[in-house]
Structure 1
């Protein structure tokens, strides 16, 4: 049986990596043909462009990972079925479950590589990929649109403001409340806040009002305009939209804990990124089981029928996953259930198809 195991394992890994090697250059060529005008117009240097496409290779390979794995397993398993090799294996007394063992060995290897990629390598590549894209290709969309912000910036202070604009470094209806324990000590408010780039954390407040709370009588301090230091950096309040993609797993967990303390409205988006870094590599086992179940049967239409069924299932997997993630980002649905729902649904399909293929 070791010969059979090594034979299938070798085909599993080689076919998968060959598809990656074949499809990634196609993606690079298509991407370059679409963006070459903008790259030239915005005067991106050769080194920056080469670095962008190195990062794009990693980013694109990770994006296509589920589909390429699925198609590779269907491809070489269908060839085994068409050559009646699977019939020979099973006729020799090998059970269908035993036949699946080398597939799951291969899936384990790919999963480990996928987890390492998604935890550490892909975030680094994503950072370079997105920085180049927003610097040279989408300059106007590099940051979030102006939004309302309500955050706890440290253990004692909470801020609120409307229309934070990272591009203009301004905000309106600004309020800062300072607590000691549960007791409010003072409150600062201003109609407009303007960041002063000449000094660290220096801001100009228009229509400044400071209310100092005491047990007997509150006191008010008013000024038309005041330059003062505030205990936060402006950039931290409106993080760029792709920030979660660029942090490795440990950094992302720390970032989420920090954002929870600040009351960030984007927590679901960040949690989705955490869960996806596990769910996509783990889906390797589910996709492998479905692919084997589809292609282990010798069909009258040959390999083409298996590939058609496989592509329909593979793209359904990606489509449902994208829909679930989008819904979770825009609603109060539990992000863990949203991310893992696709794996759960297709795991049920996989076990049903495995039972059918076994018969």
Structure 2
């Protein structure tokens, strides 16, 4: 059963967190508007689209992305205030152990980590659809990034497609081939000079096509034509999955997508795995950073609140630096994506335990 002091700390924790996140996101919105106002005006974005399609989802996305850091800053801020007012000293000298003092902190951290986990795995991927479509329409624009060259994809085992050029905006490509292999031998090969998806019928139209098939006796059969309408076992979005499309998938969808990409031998597989593991590692970091924050600020220092905040920001920068370095090794090297995402948490767990050990009891 929660004591009065538990409810007091939880209330202070949550109130400080939501005040801090509101202030930081308000500042972020002001800077973002000043940077993108020209795009909004020149490309004709309405006030309703800017507010509800972009900034409402902007707040959810970035608020959740940096929630662990904001929890850390909030912990440092209100714990330093309690220490300066000798509230922490009074609690400890009143017979409450330091371990018992951590209970309300971890209860509040569990509430915030649970909210962050639910948002990151299920809610924000859906709100990202609106936000990223707005960015693509009014900010980043439609440009050469929609065009890709020399695409090789294994759609399913033994089925290989190739595009010399592919335009994701128009769902069309040039110099297309579809090869089918079985027992390390080619069974058929379809070629076309141009291919385009008819989104109304969900069929592909091939221009100047030729089909080569090889039967069980090894005899070849050739056929060709001017135009052919057909269907394939792949979707247009699967040809060139953009990196931001994984941000639009909830975790079950992402897991299914990753399994398909493993079969296809996707070169971006590590990016997808990092996104998957990050959705759990960020909420877990909440507990680690809370333990560091309380251990750091539970003792009075000559620098007071200012010094604690400075140290807290330095730790945040170090955490982000570790995360960036480890994910870079995972995407560009042979480092495991799972270890890359969790490595900062592992390192800072030892730091947190050490700071807890030396904290005044």
- TM-score normalised by structure 2 residue count: 0.90
Aligned residues: 357
Deviation at 1:21, TM superposition (A): 1.8
Q: Distance in 2 between matches of 1:186 and 1:68?
A: 57
Q: Distance in 2 between matches of 1:287 and 1:98?
A: 18
Say which of 37, 61, 64 aligns to 2:63.
61
Deviation at 1:111, TM superposition (A): 0.9
Q: Secondary structure at the match of 1:139?
A: coil
- Corresponding position of 2:24: 23
Q: Secondary structure at the match of 1:76?
A: helix
- 1:334 and 2:336 are equivalent in the alignment: yes
- 1:136 and 2:143 are equivalent in the alignment: no
Q: Distance in 1 between matches of 2:172 and 2:269?
A: 23
- Corresponding position of 1:258: 260
- Corresponding position of 2:167: 165
- 1:346 and 2:335 are equivalent in the alignment: no
Q: Secondary structure at the match of 1:153?
A: strand
Cα distance, 1:58–1:41 mapped onto 2, change above 3 Å? same
Q: Distance in 2 between matches of 1:89 and 1:222?
A: 86
Cα distance, 1:39–1:239 mapped onto 2, change above 3 Å? same
- TM-score normalised by structure 1 residue count: 0.90
User: Over residues 300-353 of structure 1, what are the superposed CA-to-partner deviations in whole Å (9 max), with x where a residue is unaligned?
Assistant: 111111111111001211222133223322333211100001111111111111
Q: Distance in 1 between matches of 2:127 and 2:325?
A: 25
Cα distance, 1:308–1:196 mapped onto 2, change above 3 Å? closer
Deviation at 1:25, TM superposition (A): 1.8
Q: Distance in 1 between matches of 2:178 and 2:346?
A: 45
- Corresponding position of 2:321: 319
- Corresponding position of 1:83: 85
Deviation at 1:187, TM superposition (A): 2.1
Unaligned runs of 5+ in 2: none
User: Over residues 236-282 of structure 1, what are the superposed CA-to-partner deviations in whole Å (9 max), with x where a residue is unaligned?
Assistant: 20122201111111111122222223332222111111111100011
Deviation at 1:215, TM superposition (A): 3.9
Q: Secondary structure at the match of 2:51?
A: helix
Cα distance, 1:104–1:34 mapped onto 2, change above 3 Å? same
Q: Which moved further from structure 2: 67-76 or 193-202?
A: 193-202
- Corresponding position of 1:270: 272
Q: Distance in 2 between matches of 1:326 and 1:141?
A: 27
Deviation at 1:76, TM superposition (A): 0.7
Q: Distance in 2 between matches of 1:224 and 1:29?
A: 58
Q: Which moved further from structure 2: 148-157 or 128-137?
A: 148-157
Cα distance, 1:205–1:263 mapped onto 2, change above 3 Å? farther
Cα distance, 1:79–1:142 mapped onto 2, change above 3 Å? farther
Deviation at 1:67, TM superposition (A): 2.1
Q: Secondary structure at the match of 1:345?
A: helix
Q: Distance in 1 between matches of 2:144 and 2:262?
A: 23
Deviation at 1:6, TM superposition (A): 1.5
- Corresponding position of 2:304: 302
Deviation at 1:219, TM superposition (A): 1.6
- 1:41 and 2:53 are equivalent in the alignment: no
| Counterpart contact for 1:144–1:240, Cα < 8 Å | no
Cα distance, 1:147–1:335 mapped onto 2, change above 3 Å? farther
Within-5 A mapping of 1:237-248 = 237-248=239-250
